[in-house]
Amino acid sequence: MSQLDELYREVILDHYRNPRRRGTLSGNHLHAEGNNPSCGDEFALDLVVENGVITDAAMQGQGCSISQASGSMMMDAIVGRSVDEVEDLMRKFKVMMTIEDGDDPLDPDRPGSVLGDLEALQGVRKFPVRIKCADLAWATLEDALAQAGR
Ligand code: ZN
């Protein structure tokens, strides 16, 4: 395993063991649920959108480390951001997950990286069946945002 793979593995395991914003929200919020039958992953999301900004979020779910770590990283990435920024982030995440081996990899040390910890998931590309695990949280987020009329 390369040093980078090792680092990515640690980031994923950290999010899996210490998920960010796990729980539920009370009060008015959007809710969406998703699952990935090919792996048995489940993910649910509570989301508060105010004036086009995601002001609060909470996640529930169970499944493999990739699916749950992806959700935890997504929580870190979206709260406090505008819906426009988050939609841009979603696009960048999808691009990252569909880069073919042999394409230029993303450089995690480059300045201004917006994906942050999420870049640890790019190693998942090597295992196409697991891409659905990494995508689950994001597909659920898309559902929640659709309820907000996006
Ligand atoms: Zn999975």
Q: State pLDDT tens for residues 37-88.
A: 999 999 999 999 999 999 999 999 999 999 999 999 999 999 999 999 999 9
CA of 115 to the centre of ligand 1 (A): 21
Ligand 1 centroid, distance to 101 Cα (angstroms):
21
Give the pLDDT band of residue 1 (cuts 50, 70, 90): low
Q: Which of 103, 135, 138, 113 is nearest to 38 (CA)?
A: 135
Cα of 8 vs centre of ligand 1, distance in Å, is 17
CB 134 within 8 A of CB 97: yes
Question: What is the torsional sign of CA 67, 73, 75, 81?
Answer: negative
Mean pLDDT, residues 85-100: 86
Question: Residue 18 pLDDT more than 90?
Answer: yes
Percentage of the chain modeled with pLDDT above 70: 88
Distance 65 CA to ligand 1 centre (A): 7
31-49 pLDDT, tens digit per residue, is 999 999 999 999 999 999 9
Spatial CB neighbours of 98, under 8 Å, sequence gap ≥ 6: 125
Which three-class secondary structure state does DSSP give residue 64? Answer: coil
> How big is the chain by its Cα radius of gyration, in Å?
15
Q: Which CATH class is domain 3-147?
A: alpha beta
Q: Where are the domains of the chain?
A: 3-147
Binning pLDDT at 50, 70 and 90, where does residue 111 land?
Answer: very low
Tell me, in angstroms, the distance from the centre of ligand 1 to residue 38's CA: 8
Q: What is the DSSP letter of 116?
A: G
| pLDDT at position 32 | 98
Whole-number Å distance, alpha carbon 45 to ligand 1 midpoint, is 17
Give the SS3 label for residue 135: helix
Q: How many helices (H) and strands (E) does the chain have?
A: 4, 3
- Identify the pLDDT of residue 20: 95
Distance CA 148, CA 150 (A): 6
